[in-house]
Structure 1
């Protein structure tokens, strides 16, 4: 067998030797060097079967096709492949290319991998969730069962240190490729220009500036379709390339033509695929990655900026066959702001499926495995909670039902919908809905989309029909049926959280007795019971989901129902509500059959005490009635904390008592208590008797002054009037009130009443600030040092006021004068 002269060929002996000596190795080679095709062919010569794990189905089929072409054989002979729903292998197959997820299932089924000598983990740098899990499982297999199993990890980036450490300080072999120069141009979108228009503009520039084909990267199939619509080019073929296309259309996009091509691709073309003839790359700078809003429970895909490593890989496609050009749809100064590497999916994705695989591996928290990056504790805990609710696990141990769900190769939610939906509406109906939920839809209304798919003859509908038939066959499998029956005790164990399962066989008996009704909403609800939703009152079509999240129907959805079973909803940054992407019309009967219904007594504060018995579907209130004898204490405390102590009856005396107590706490500290709002509200029961109150109006009858006296310390309280008296006697015999509102006590008194008072009074050791008033009651002077005032301040005050108030006494020596309360001289 003569191998093509590709750059990786020179290091093949080194790779084989490293695996023979160490059992593990890391191969670093840029895209297009032949690592995906030549390395497996070389390894197969040393005996045993070679399994190549690819992150994507498209890459798996393409890799098998290229290797078979090198051997001059059809796929399925020496080289075969297996992806979900499609397999081409034979007894002669020595090299099998599979997706990472499919190999995870094989390892779960038989961890010893009999007959397999080498596993090649391709494109590890992409950090897909299944690939990270597969690496962890295979390392565990090597450590405990198959120390002879050889593992080779390949990567297109040089950051392979952590990977080599995981593989037991494995040797790192690097293959270099003579790179042709690539010229870069930055073409950022104009103001308000959509990324599709910017990419189309850059494609036209690339076509007019040189020869060869153009490869353009866009984040998803929607953007590819819109960009294709903008590129009506004569004598140029515009071809899409993404994972939702049929195998024939994907192969067509990879095949060279006599005419120039523009290939509009998602991330599938970044590293593991070769697109021949490309001399120019247009990079949108965007990628679609899994993200989940854990607080709102809305997993989905998010459009993010690519990393610098990904941008380098994309542009490298232009320089494989000769000097190339790369057009980047962002400003040049933004290049330095890109993250160095893509975020691993295990840090951002929803982890229920990973949690199920870990449960099947008997390590629910993953603690016994060696991870490149371990799963986040919060996301994994959420995944485990979901598995328990679905009956897939019991006390953290996988049930027979859980193993059957894992074998289906679906997300646990969809597996539950398929198994239980088949019981309720028939295997065919359930399989059709689950196939739709798994693949995605173009319409918002599930029923309308199903009608379209059943009648259409396009590739998308044909693929959906194939998937539906495959899923129907899985349900009909006798082993699967036994597994479902065996799982009934586990189902009953979670009956309180899933009323549909709680209903058990009784709920499905009627469906068996008569032909099952193709109720798509029921199957959707079985997958997402927390997304059962009821329309809120008002004009806008906003629905409240059982999980507590609000979402809005987009215009033109065709849905007009009080209840929905929502299959898909997303929330864009900055938006108050989520957006419903896919849903089926439902009703309350279906919702209460499937959803988490509960009846609780609620006593809350909503401007007043509200006591009611509520029947709820999650966050959705179904019905309510008032409670007469409920305890309202906690609601009253909440009301005080929400609206403040002003709800109590505060007389002038109560307010003054609080100010006096606050003064003593500030000056003397303990045992005089703090009486600020935060302290009083932190322990309401310590000082307020709420036993006789039932509503807000009752709070207004509680005397706050009487309540505060409960906080006075004893026996120190006996000195309250001595340390902080309400009134203070002045030389004239009057008893004006002391103001404790500020930092120091203040006494406002007419100046004539203080004649003969030479010492400033003190309270609790703090000098009283005297506001000395004119005969008209206006402040004439403020002092906390009477002795100094009589000698320095009084003469000027006397000179100012004696002319205005000639009938009032203004002695030259106030220290010896007789104080008086009278406003006129007496003769």
Structure 2
């Protein structure tokens, strides 16, 4: 009688619900599914007869049971185990009956998410009945916004990819007040600056190859970039017009260049009001002195460096008074 009442109530449903088939046409499983709508079971992948039930619980059927290989069942009697119940009695359920009787409960779901196991963005279209995934197919035309949001989740799991250039830019931004925090946690919690750059990211390799230089520039805007160039410039221009990258990764901004390229400089170079830490190199590119007081170096240690370097690099200029000499990176012609 209960089954008859359930069928009758479905037959009398709204216009948007397909009428249930006549009671006589229902399989035993179909009738059972009306009595136990939360115990409709869909077999999991694998050799074992494990099922996920529409109510969300897991259940297992003995491998020797005649229904162990069925795609769908109705679990009529369970042992009550909360983790994975053992099915003591079940009925076979045809998918046609399931759709005819429970079609109003079957929903469409579009999923776009980061798969940690696959290391990529996964976009799928699914049919679901409660916890059951009845069908699962690719979503080839998923919106770029959804793909970007999924890729962002991948970044949060894997971490931001800091190339040397991006790391230098981040260190510069950190020195300028009011340009925003560039700590990883703060950058990853702020969706707006990253999402426009993630629309074409699909795989872990794509994430790790992401160049953050342009996104960081866009994040601080044009006005912020102007302040950055004034207060923490990315390069130092030598007296010869050559641009040398400034490293902001240490306690002080620093550069490396050949000693002769600073001949004639009588004031110590600074950026944003901070003196540069200068590593002076020999003509062979080896460090010979580190200084934050170039005039003091010319007046003191230079004489010892000159004495040592003249013998090693005789074709390069080593004037007695470097403050009065012209900067150069050239060697003397042979025979002079």
Instruction: Work out whether the TM-score is over 0.5.
Output: yes
- In the TM superposition, what whole-angstrom CA distance separates every residue of 1:7-50 from its partner, at most 9, and x where no partner exists? xxxxxxxxxxxxxxxxxxxxxxxxxxxxxxxxxxxxxxxxxxxx
Q: For 1:601, which of 88, 104, 110 is the aligned residue?
A: 110
Quote the offset at 1:551 in angstroms.
4.6
- In the TM superposition, what whole-angstrom CA distance separates every residue of 1:383-438 from its partner, at most 9, and x where no partner exists? xxxxxxxxxxxxxxxxxxxxxxxxxxxxxxxxxxxx7446479xxxxxxxxxxxxx
- Pick closer, same or farther for the CA change 1:657–1:599 going to 2, 3 Å: closer
Assess if the C-alpha contact under 8 Å between 1:609 and 1:632 holds in 2.
no
Assess if the C-alpha contact under 8 Å between 2:267 and 2:295 holds in 1.
yes
Quote the offset at 1:817 in angstroms.
4.7
Q: For 1:510, which of 11, 14, 23 is the aligned residue?
A: 23
Assess if the C-alpha contact under 8 Å between 2:257 and 2:279 holds in 1.
yes
Question: Match of 1:747?
Answer: 255
Assess if the C-alpha contact under 8 Å between 1:612 and 1:626 holds in 2.
yes
- Pick closer, same or farther for the CA change 1:799–1:550 going to 2, 3 Å: farther
| RMSD between aligned residues | 4.7
In 2: Cα distance, 1:742 partner to 1:551 partner: 58
Question: Match of 1:616?
Answer: 128
- Pick closer, same or farther for the CA change 1:584–1:712 going to 2, 3 Å: same
Quote the offset at 1:639 in angstroms.
0.8
Quote the offset at 1:730 in angstroms.
2.4
Flag structure 1 segments of 5+ consecutive residues without an equivalent.
Answer: 1-418, 426-484, 497-501, 573-577
For the residue of structure 1 that corresponds to 2:109, the secondary structure is strand
Assess if the C-alpha contact under 8 Å between 1:565 and 1:584 holds in 2.
yes
Q: Which has the higher contact order (CA 8 A, sep 6+)?
A: 2
Aligned length: 321
The 5-angstrom pairing of residues 763-802 of structure 1 reads 763-790=271-298, 794=302, 797-798=305-306, 801-802=309-310
In 1: Cα distance, 2:109 partner to 2:177 partner: 45
In 1: Cα distance, 2:266 partner to 2:246 partner: 19
- Pick closer, same or farther for the CA change 1:628–1:734 going to 2, 3 Å: closer
- In the TM superposition, what whole-angstrom CA distance separates every residue of 1:366-399 from its partner, at most 9, and x where no partner exists? xxxxxxxxxxxxxxxxxxxxxxxxxxxxxxxxxx
Quote the offset at 1:749 in angstroms.
0.5
Q: For 1:562, which of 71, 83, 86 is the aligned residue?
A: 71
Larger Rg: 1
- Pick closer, same or farther for the CA change 1:641–1:612 going to 2, 3 Å: closer
Assess if the C-alpha contact under 8 Å between 2:33 and 2:39 holds in 1.
no
In 2: Cα distance, 1:634 partner to 1:510 partner: 44
- Pick closer, same or farther for the CA change 1:541–1:665 going to 2, 3 Å: same
Assess if the C-alpha contact under 8 Å between 1:640 and 1:647 holds in 2.
no
- Pick closer, same or farther for the CA change 1:824–1:733 going to 2, 3 Å: farther
Question: Match of 1:642?
Answer: 154
The 5-angstrom pairing of residues 96-115 of structure 1 reads none
- In the TM superposition, what whole-angstrom CA distance separates every residue of 1:273-301 from its partner, at most 9, and x where no partner exists? xxxxxxxxxxxxxxxxxxxxxxxxxxxxx
In 2: Cα distance, 1:810 partner to 1:555 partner: 89
Residue 538, structure 1, aligned to residue 50, structure 2: no
Quote the offset at 1:521 in angstroms.
7.8
- Pick closer, same or farther for the CA change 1:614–1:733 going to 2, 3 Å: closer
- Pick closer, same or farther for the CA change 1:716–1:625 going to 2, 3 Å: closer
Assess if the C-alpha contact under 8 Å between 1:522 and 1:565 holds in 2.
no
- Pick closer, same or farther for the CA change 1:742–1:618 going to 2, 3 Å: farther
Residue 735, structure 1, aligned to residue 243, structure 2: yes
Assess if the C-alpha contact under 8 Å between 2:120 and 2:202 holds in 1.
yes
Residue 711, structure 1, aligned to residue 219, structure 2: yes
Quote the offset at 1:682 in angstroms.
3.7
Q: For 2:202, which of 671, 693, 696 is the aligned residue?
A: 696
Quote the offset at 1:535 in angstroms.
1.9
Quote the offset at 1:626 in angstroms.
5.2
- In the TM superposition, what whole-angstrom CA distance separates every residue of 1:450-508 from its partner, at most 9, and x where no partner exists? xxxxxxxxxxxxxxxxxxxxxxxxxxxxxxxxxxx9xx69x979xx9xxxxx77xx547
The 5-angstrom pairing of residues 492-507 of structure 1 reads 507=20
In 1: Cα distance, 2:57 partner to 2:287 partner: 61
For the residue of structure 2 that corresponds to 1:721, the secondary structure is helix
In 2: Cα distance, 1:643 partner to 1:774 partner: 43
In 1: Cα distance, 2:183 partner to 2:189 partner: 10
TM-score (ref. length: structure 1): 0.33
- Pick closer, same or farther for the CA change 1:583–1:666 going to 2, 3 Å: farther
Q: Please state which structure has a larger fraction of its residues in helix.
A: 1
Question: Match of 1:821?
Answer: 329
Assess if the C-alpha contact under 8 Å between 2:42 and 2:53 holds in 1.
yes
Question: Match of 1:580?
Answer: 86
Quote the offset at 1:673 in angstroms.
3.7
Assess if the C-alpha contact under 8 Å between 1:667 and 1:764 holds in 2.
no
For the residue of structure 2 that corresponds to 1:640, the secondary structure is helix
Assess if the C-alpha contact under 8 Å between 1:658 and 1:708 holds in 2.
no
- Pick closer, same or farther for the CA change 1:583–1:764 going to 2, 3 Å: farther
- Pick closer, same or farther for the CA change 1:820–1:526 going to 2, 3 Å: same
Quote the offset at 1:821 in angstroms.
0.9
- In the TM superposition, what whole-angstrom CA distance separates every residue of 1:339-387 from its partner, at most 9, and x where no partner exists? xxxxxxxxxxxxxxxxxxxxxxxxxxxxxxxxxxxxxxxxxxxxxxxxx
In 2: Cα distance, 1:801 partner to 1:541 partner: 81
In 2: Cα distance, 1:557 partner to 1:796 partner: 92
Quote the offset at 1:687 in angstroms.
6.5
